[in-house]
Structure 1
Amino acid sequence: MKKTLTVSAATLLAASLVLAGCGKNGNEAGSPDASNASAGGKDKVKLSLWHNYTGDDQRAKTMRAIIEEYQKAHPNVELDIQAIPPDGYRTRLKTVAAANEMPDLFVMWPGVMTKEFQAGNLIQPINELLDGKPEWKDGFLPGSFDGFTIGSDVYSVPVALSPTSILYYNKKILEDNGLTPPKTWDELMNAVNVLKEKKITPIALGNKAAWLAQSSILSSLADRVTGTEWFLKAAAQDGAKFTDPEFVQALTYLQDLQKAGAFQEGFNAIDNTQMEQYFAQGKAAMMIDGGWALTNLAASAPADSLSQMGATILPSVPNGKGDPNTLSGVVGTGFGLGKNATGAKKEAALDLLYTLAGPDAQKRVLESNQLVSYKVELDKSKVTPIFAEVYELVNKVGRTPVYDGVLSSAVADEVNNGLQDLLMGAKPEAVAKKIQEAQEKSMQSGS
């Protein structure tokens, strides 16, 4: 059975986790200009490529396989590959960006990261590649380029589609305890209480890297409370502030979960991959995570565990101003083209970019249990049942912004750190005040 994925332009909102610019000098990004020595009729080209596909998940394996295939098919291109684990990738990229030594081709986020790198004259557009392959360009879903576009220039294309706030649940655990997937906040809190009494972890959480509570929980939860319009106004400091009662209420809801014992002990000491393993092992009834979990689960979770997984959206909240039939989401990462890639090096980089993001790659990524922002028919026999369920889910709901896709990197860091403090007992009002102060400072500095 096959079905074509469709997503509306209004719901594909760009996001990024970008890094601002201080760091040490260094040459770790880079290759010198292309060394052109004739060999076998083709110029030799040395190309630096940075990626974060280091894991054992199916998508990472697929992308690494595509890179290896490209190397074998292009002996004239010498790839200097830096494969950096996801949690350290942005830090390394920040360092070379500050030193103005970008790789030739590298994994890049849409939204803020693209804007900041373009403003720093660190990247160059790929319009010529898109215009030269119109069928490929037209194959992307509406809005796919928005987060990578500045003016008339497009700086990348997505190789993924990432809903960030899916509520995964273990069907058996809920059924065995007389529970159903929660549709309202009261139902969620009741489930937490019932499961705690049975000494079952209600919700797995891995917030060591600090971004997960923001991206996967708050971005949707806060939208339920405040509505999208309020958030965009607060981000623009145009008639709304993060100290407003509705945002404080959103923070309070999140803290209420922690106070009720919703999360396992040490949730700030494990990362999202460990969280996913914890959930897959049946140690928690629920998990709030993004679409990226699907490819990790497909690679590591036993078949019987996968068969027990269901997926839904976060519950509605009392008197919420936002649309409850939504989840926060973004188009995924693409590949940025460093400004120093010129001549034969640029030609090779664009060719590799197309190999990594062209129609064949998009299909292979989809079949690795990773959603994509490209028109590809899904063969459900090649993916896990939970992937097929999420695939259907994302086509039935709207999308709202992810906080770190709209806010500057400095303010997003303040949100991330503030949520860690909140979950350790800090007052919601105090956290909201720090976020508001960071946003005011960001607006004043123009960042």
Structure 2
Amino acid sequence: MRKKLLAFALAAAMALSCVGCSDTAASGGSMVSTGGTSGSATSTATDEPITLTLMDQFVEGEGMTEAFRARLEVFKQEHPNVTIEEETLNTADMGTKVQTLAAADELPDIFQMKGQMAKSFVENGYVMDLTDILSENSEWVDGFRDGVFSNFEIGDGTYAVPYQVTNTFVFYNSALFEQAGITEFPTTWDGLIEACEKLSAAGITPIELGNSPLWPAESVIMSTLGNRCTGDEWYQSLRNNTGSKFTDEEFVLSLQSLYDLAATGAFNSDVNSIDGDAQRAAFMNGQAAIMFDGSWAVSALDANMEDDMKAVVKFAAMPTVEGGKGEAEVITGGSGWGFAVNSKLDESKREVVVDFLTTVVGPEFATQCAMSGVVSAYSADDYTLDESAVMAAQYFEFIDGRRFIPVYDHQLSSGLMDVMQSGLQEILNNTKTAETLAQELQNQYEMENG
């Protein structure tokens, strides 16, 4: 990637939000009312006073907060007539409060909406269709990464502006691979199973996974493995309720592939008893050869892994499955949350809301995020990483130019995710068959969609 500006802030935590995969540094909420300050005002500076209500989750200590605060300050300087009444919540509280306010018809002007909420919020008329706003600002829209709007596209409309991205992929220890006589990371699922057997024979744990929170096997593995088997069209049909079924052979193939991998003893024996922190600790200490994880792990590895380990840890895309319909190099790239606008927004506030969105989310925001080791939904300008940020540099290179595919738990219902996540624990234990879980998912799907 092109590099220029400042040094990488090594101490910054990567805390991107996806369902279940973001630890929060603060709890509760705080209400702040801030008026605009003097500065280089835009054309709205001479307008009548305007108050915007805003609800966000940029709590102190999280990776994107500093970048957001800097851009918010720019907005306020350019709009001295605007007063922002801001409430900041952690991720868990945000999900609950947004839905409570929606039901009470008390949503703020601008708020952060989870992709999983989008369909319901659109059907109930809670959020504004931003299609026209995006069309009017096409040059700004062109700067977003491919695929990041997908969580918020319902029918022909787009209902939120994404600001963050979480990716999932494979970390592997090339030194342990060499120790087991493996020269490169496998590109096929059969090759992965063969590699895991060789690693086991060499006394090495093949794959370390911490699935006690339930979401990792689904979000980190199945969202990609499913696409490797089904391709894009099957999933979009499922999401749009236009014919796809969980019992279709291509999706059953994805469940069976995970079942077969687990049956070889590829995973750590306590796979469903430990969490992500324990998983990463074991991998960083060289106790396992492979780790399925996400972009949120990159800064943790840079901060805590020894230099000799950084030299041998590499990134890879999940292998393809024979008979699968998906592309080989795509990875999940979900924007779990985006800025949504109240459907009942006063028309007099429309212009200033557009200014808020285009000012807060853009190249400057993306660049500051990148320098903290965080990837945003927008493409960053030139920047420089510190030499110690070995994993971050490799990560940015790895994702450059890749197409992103959806994360299941960003878009599918919480009911479906409950069935899938608990069922995958049993798949990993080989106590439930692929066909059984597929039917359970289809039963839940039909109950929800008729």
TM-score band by shorter chain is: 0.7 to 0.9
Q: Using the TM superposition, give the Cα deviation of residue 167 of structure 1 relative to its aligned residue in structure 2, in angstroms.
A: 0.9
Match of 1:392 among 367, 377, 397: 397
Rate the CA distance shift 1:176–1:159 in 2: closer, same or farther, 3 A.
same
Deviates more, 1:193-202 or 1:312-321: 193-202
Tell whether 2:366 aligns with 1:362. Answer: yes
Partner of 2:331: 327
Instruction: Look up the SS of the partner of 1:243 in the other structure.
Output: coil
- Given that 1:214 and 1:416 are in contact with CA atoms closer than 8 Å, whether structure 2 keeps it comes out as yes
Partner of 1:171: 174
For 1:301 and 1:102, locate their aligned partners in 2 and report how far apart those are by CA, in whole Å.
Answer: 43
Question: Deviation digits for residues 293-342 of structure 1, max 9, x if unmatched?
Answer: 33444455455443332111111223333333333333453222345765
For 1:332 and 1:378, locate their aligned partners in 2 and report how far apart those are by CA, in whole Å.
Answer: 25
Partner of 1:417: 422
Rate the CA distance shift 1:399–1:335 in 2: closer, same or farther, 3 A.
closer
Instruction: Look up the SS of the partner of 2:334 in the other structure.
Output: strand
Partner of 1:2: 2
Rate the CA distance shift 1:78–1:403 in 2: closer, same or farther, 3 A.
closer
For 1:245 and 1:313, locate their aligned partners in 2 and report how far apart those are by CA, in whole Å.
Answer: 23
User: Superposition pairs for residues 44-193 of structure 1, below 5 Å?
Assistant: 47-51=53-57, 59-60=63-64, 62-63=66-67, 66=70, 77=83, 80-84=86-90, 86=91, 89-91=94-96, 93-110=98-115, 112-125=116-129, 135-141=139-145, 144-149=148-153, 154-164=158-168, 166-179=169-182, 180-193=184-197
Instruction: Look up the SS of the partner of 1:163 in the other structure.
Output: strand
Partner of 1:437: 443
- Given that 1:29 and 1:101 are in contact with CA atoms closer than 8 Å, whether structure 2 keeps it comes out as no
Partner of 1:24: none
Q: Using the TM superposition, give the Cα deviation of residue 412 of structure 1 relative to its aligned residue in structure 2, in angstroms.
A: 3.1
- Given that 1:71 and 1:79 are in contact with CA atoms closer than 8 Å, whether structure 2 keeps it comes out as no
Deviates more, 1:412-421 or 1:297-306: 297-306
Give the counterpart letter for 1:376 in structure 2: A
* TM-score of the two chains, using structure 2 as the length reference: 0.74
Deviates more, 1:336-345 or 1:211-220: 336-345
Question: Deviation digits for residues 90-141 of structure 1, max 9, x if unmatched?
Answer: 355445444544455443334x432322322333355787577664334334
Structure 1 portions without partners, runs of 5+: 5-14, 19-27
Question: Deviation digits for residues 336-360 of structure 1, max 9, x if unmatched?
Answer: 2345765898887666544531321
Q: Using the TM superposition, give the Cα deviation of residue 176 of structure 1 relative to its aligned residue in structure 2, in angstroms.
A: 3.0
Instruction: Look up the SS of the partner of 2:207 in the other structure.
Output: strand
For 2:257 and 2:215, locate their aligned partners in 1 and report how far apart those are by CA, in whole Å.
Answer: 18
Instruction: Look up the SS of the partner of 1:186 in the other structure.
Output: helix
Instruction: Look up the SS of the partner of 1:292 in the other structure.
Output: helix
Rate the CA distance shift 1:30–1:82 in 2: closer, same or farther, 3 A.
closer
- Given that 1:30 and 1:102 are in contact with CA atoms closer than 8 Å, whether structure 2 keeps it comes out as no
Partner of 1:11: none
Question: Deviation digits for residues 336-386 of structure 1, max 9, x if unmatched?
Answer: 234576589888766654453132111111222233343434435358333
Give the counterpart letter for 1:193 in structure 2: E
Q: Using the TM superposition, give the Cα deviation of residue 72 of structure 1 relative to its aligned residue in structure 2, in angstroms.
A: 9.4
- Given that 1:159 and 1:357 are in contact with CA atoms closer than 8 Å, whether structure 2 keeps it comes out as yes
For 1:276 and 1:101, locate their aligned partners in 2 and report how far apart those are by CA, in whole Å.
Answer: 41
Question: Deviation digits for residues 41-100 of structure 1, max 9, x if unmatched?
Answer: 9969584533165666xx24544653785799699856544331x466535544544454
RMSD (Å) for aligned C-alpha atoms: 4.3
Rate the CA distance shift 1:298–1:70 in 2: closer, same or farther, 3 A.
farther
For 2:243 and 2:160, locate their aligned partners in 1 and report how far apart those are by CA, in whole Å.
Answer: 33
Match of 2:407 among 381, 398, 402: 402
For 1:229 and 1:432, locate their aligned partners in 2 and report how far apart those are by CA, in whole Å.
Answer: 18
For 2:382 and 2:3, locate their aligned partners in 1 and report how far apart those are by CA, in whole Å.
Answer: 6
* TM-score of the two chains, using structure 1 as the length reference: 0.75
Identity among equivalent pairs (%): 31
- Given that 1:29 and 1:48 are in contact with CA atoms closer than 8 Å, whether structure 2 keeps it comes out as no
- Given that 1:156 and 1:335 are in contact with CA atoms closer than 8 Å, whether structure 2 keeps it comes out as yes
Partner of 2:8: none
Give the counterpart letter for 1:413 in structure 2: D
For 1:381 and 1:328, locate their aligned partners in 2 and report how far apart those are by CA, in whole Å.
Answer: 24
Give the counterpart letter for 2:399 in structure 1: V
Rate the CA distance shift 1:46–1:429 in 2: closer, same or farther, 3 A.
same
Q: Using the TM superposition, give the Cα deviation of residue 221 of structure 1 relative to its aligned residue in structure 2, in angstroms.
A: 1.6
Structure 2 portions without partners, runs of 5+: 5-16, 21-27, 39-45
- Given that 2:29 and 2:87 are in contact with CA atoms closer than 8 Å, whether structure 1 keeps it comes out as no
Rate the CA distance shift 1:148–1:427 in 2: closer, same or farther, 3 A.
closer
Rate the CA distance shift 1:293–1:230 in 2: closer, same or farther, 3 A.
same
Q: Using the TM superposition, give the Cα deviation of residue 2 of structure 1 relative to its aligned residue in structure 2, in angstroms.
A: 1.5
Q: How many residues were matched structurally?
A: 418
Q: Using the TM superposition, give the Cα deviation of residue 431 of structure 1 relative to its aligned residue in structure 2, in angstroms.
A: 1.0
For 1:324 and 1:330, locate their aligned partners in 2 and report how far apart those are by CA, in whole Å.
Answer: 18
For 1:296 and 1:340, locate their aligned partners in 2 and report how far apart those are by CA, in whole Å.
Answer: 42
Instruction: Look up the SS of the partner of 1:393 in the other structure.
Output: helix
